A and B are shown apart, each in its own frame.
Chain A
Amino acid sequence: MAALSIRTLSKRYANLEVLKGIDLDIESGEFTVLVGPSGCGKSTLLNIVAGLDRPSEGTVEIGGRVVNDIPPKDRDIAMVFQSYALYPSMTVRQNITFGMECRHVPKAEQEKALTNVARLLQIEPLLDRKPSQLSGGQRQRVAMGRALVRDPLLFLFDEPLSNLDAKLRVEMRMEIKRLHQRIGATIVYVTHDQIEAMTMATRIAVMHRGVVQQFADPDTVYRYPANLFVARFMGSPPMNTMPARLEADASGLVAVIGAGRPDEVRLRLQGYDAAAPFVGREVVFGIRPECIAEGSRVFSGDAPIVVNAPVEMVEPTGAETIVLLRLGGESALARITPDIRPTPGTPAAFALDTRRICLFNPETERLIA
């Protein structure tokens, strides 16, 4: 059963169209992440699902029931906010039970639900504190407790980790994922952080300018980005994209970067038959930084493809070295092993993994192969 179905949903504010015909089907138990840059409409979409905002057109179904005219409290949802939105004058205990109090749940049941959630989130010692006496991570936990205690059909998370420092963010990310695995809840999670999307989601909806650009599992989104926007948005550092010319010879397709230049790079492509109609034309050539490595790296059983390219800059991060180099005159980033530090200004050998290249149509920006 679809836990959440969104049909041809759009939202306009005066002349501004924030959402343009969104269609999404989210299965029960899925962890769906809506990801996109700020202003892409992801938070508006979440607010419409929650019932805090109304769509201009289209329908929202939760658990098979159209909820367009049902107020938030009756939609069987719970929401975690970016600012946590804990009620400042109430204790943690009161914050968690406030919803049940509003729904007239008997006291004994409230107490039982509170105990369960407090144990699950390990916030038992905090129950009598006020939100102002809690650290960021503790507040985050209480905010989740307030959602969990309801045991809803659908959990909505609105950038819940954005206010935490980097270290805590990684911890809470794992904790939320673990929680999802334990209780099998259906979650819709909004973030602008593509790493959160990649690490937590079972499916990712990448949004841009009010349109869902791609809705697929993280591996597919990463490996086969539907278009240039997705390719550049997902991944850090982002995918290298550059113009290339597609040629064909007796043994197959060849992508030529910087065609005609003395330092042009010719890469033989295998398994890209879908790109055949583009032979003789320009395409956008995409290669992820991790597919460019030091010359000694062996990517596959086939003959390694090694090119000599000038190094422009070197950024050691500790775990790896990021190298800015020139491929046929075009800038590209490479991720190489940390102990190799090429000298800027001199050429070095780089191995390329040509099995994971993406080719895009330069006019439509859509993935060709």
Chain B
Amino acid sequence: MRDRTFAPSRMLIYLVVSLFAAAYLAPLAVVVLNSLRTNEEIAQASMIGWPKQLAWRNYAAAWSGFCVAETCAGIRPYMLNSVLVTIPATIFSTILGAIAGYAVSLWRFRGDNWIYGIVTLGLFLPQQMRLLPWTIVLRDIGLINTLTGLVLIHTIQGLSFTVLFCRNYYVAIPHELIRAARIDGAGFFRIFWRIILPLSAPILIVTVIWQFTHIWNEFLYGVTFTTGQQQPVTAALIALSAAIADIPQHGVQSAAVIIAALPTLLIYLLGGRYFVRGLTAGAVK
């Protein structure tokens, strides 16, 4: 039999696939390489090139030394802002989504499908359409330019996804479990806490990963509703570019971008396989 590995058609496939992969990875490669080159080097040569020597100080500068919007503390405070927004919003939207998903899937009540439909309709509303209503809401409750305001937005907007995920997971749980628990004397929350939640690990991992990545990477709300010291890191990166518009600092900028992307990359590397597994898992074996 002929060795198929070296068949010309096979080689062609590998070639095409490699080209696509290279095209997708090129921006990442440029940013990673530039984050390790000095400014002079980038200015003298070009945006694309190997570092002559590894300029690790770019990372130090990006983290805590560089000036953004007249404060010279690097992107560290903005990273902290992002953490303070992302973690509570992820937790709240996941908990509320699990409870709501449990309610609409396992407790039949009048209008349950309508409520579910309206909540998930949020998935299809463009973000821009929500800016104005949120401006009014945040203004009226006094949360403009606060991290709390962003937590509120992300918690509520996140419900569309978390309810969808959890509801679709919970519908596979047999209703007889709920009936048995009701006869045993357990109420809505006791059943959730003692019976449903222990079955929920796969879908909770999925929603946490999903919410964390989306809230961390979110930009529009951050840049619209916060300014200066209150900005999450995604919005601050833009400010950083603006601040150094006259003297380009591509090395430091690249390092800042990579630092800002690290949390979601880590989540993906650590939790990626649970994500796929959780999406395909059934609740009760």
Contact = CB atoms under 8 A, between A and B. Distances in A.
**In the complex, which range does the number of interface residues on chain B fall in?**
10 to 19
A163 to B, nearest CB: 11
Interface in B151-195: 174, 176-177, 179-186, 190, 194-195
Contact of B198 (A50, A82, A83, A89): A89
**In the complex, which range does the number of interface residues on chain A fall in?**
20 to 34
Contacts of A71: 182
Interface stretch (A73-81, A259-267, A272-280, A347-355): A73-81
Interface string A120-164: 000000000000100000000000001000000000000000000
B199 interface: yes
Given A83-B174, A83-B176, A102-B190, A89 B195 contact: yes
The main secondary structure of chain B at its interface with chain A is: helix
A87 B179 contact: no
B23 interface: no
Contacts of A102: 184-186, 190
Interface in A45-92: 47, 50-52, 71-73, 77-79, 81-83, 85, 87-90
B4 to A, nearest CB: 43
A146 B183 CA distance: 11
A167 interface: no
B176 A82 contact: yes
Contacts of A82: 176
B273 interface: no
A51 B284 CA distance: 25
A329 to B, nearest CB: 49
Interface in A78-126: 78-79, 81-83, 85, 87-90, 98-99, 102-103
B194 A79 contact: no
B285 interface: yes
Interface of A: 47, 50-52, 71-73, 77-79, 81-83, 85, 87-90, 98-99, 102-103, 132, 146
Given A88-B177, A98-B186, 16 more contacts: A50-B179, A72-B182, A73-B184, A73-B186, A79-B179, A79-B180, A79-B183, A82-B176, A83-B174, A85-B177, A87-B195, A89-B195, A89-B199, A98-B194, A102-B190, A132-B285
30 contacts: A50-B179, A51-B183, A52-B179, A52-B182, A71-B182, A72-B179, A72-B182, A72-B183, A73-B182, A73-B184, A73-B185, A78-B183, A79-B179, A81-B176, A81-B179, A85-B176, A85-B180, A87-B181, A87-B194, A88-B177, A88-B284, A89-B199, A90-B194, A90-B195, A98-B184, A99-B185, A102-B184, A102-B190, A132-B285, A146-B180
